[in-house]
Copies of this chain bind each other. A is one copy, B any other.
Amino acid sequence: MFVHETSVRVLYADTDKAGVVYYGTYLRFFEKGRTEYFRALGKSYADFEKTGILLTVVEAHARYHAPGRYDDRLVIRSWITRLTRTRIEFACDILNEAGEKLCEGTTLLGCIGIDTMRPTPLPEEMTALIKDKVVAKKEEG
């Protein structure tokens, strides 16, 4: 099982007038998690794009457990829960420094050919990198 971990520091820009991280900001943090996941495997998502594909978000889900606060250094844990010929599902947990889970989510990505803008199989190199890293069941929340 492969769970990738990166972190992000909460800016004023990420918060809202309730004094906490805005609910939409977590999708930004999920994106950061996915991007760094690929980089950690040895090939950046940006490099995969150069081969003529895009991963577009087909579905996103987030459950909010506790508020994130300004200047918190949040931990972003990302792992892959599903892999098909054209799709990847990522799960993501966002924790604060005390280890409290603030938010958990999933994003389902579909592979698209840049030329055709139509669904296309994931690049073989990508599939090879991640196929043994799929975690069948999402961790218990």
Contacts and interface: CB of A to CB of B under 8 A. Distances in A.
A32 B56 contact: no
A30 B74 CA distance: 20
Interface string A13-41: 10111111011110110011001000000
Contact of A35 (B11, B15, B19): B11
Contact of A71 (B44, B59, B64, B70): B44
Interface residues of A, number: 36
A98 to B, nearest CB: 15
Given A28-B13, A31-B12, A32-B11, A61 B60 contact: yes
A129 interface: no
A22 to B, nearest CB: 6
Interface string A42-55: 00111000000010
Contact of A12 (B13, B17, B58, B60): B17
A13 B35 contact: no
A9 interface: yes
8 contacts: A12-B17, A12-B18, A13-B24, A13-B28, A23-B57, A24-B27, A46-B71, A60-B62
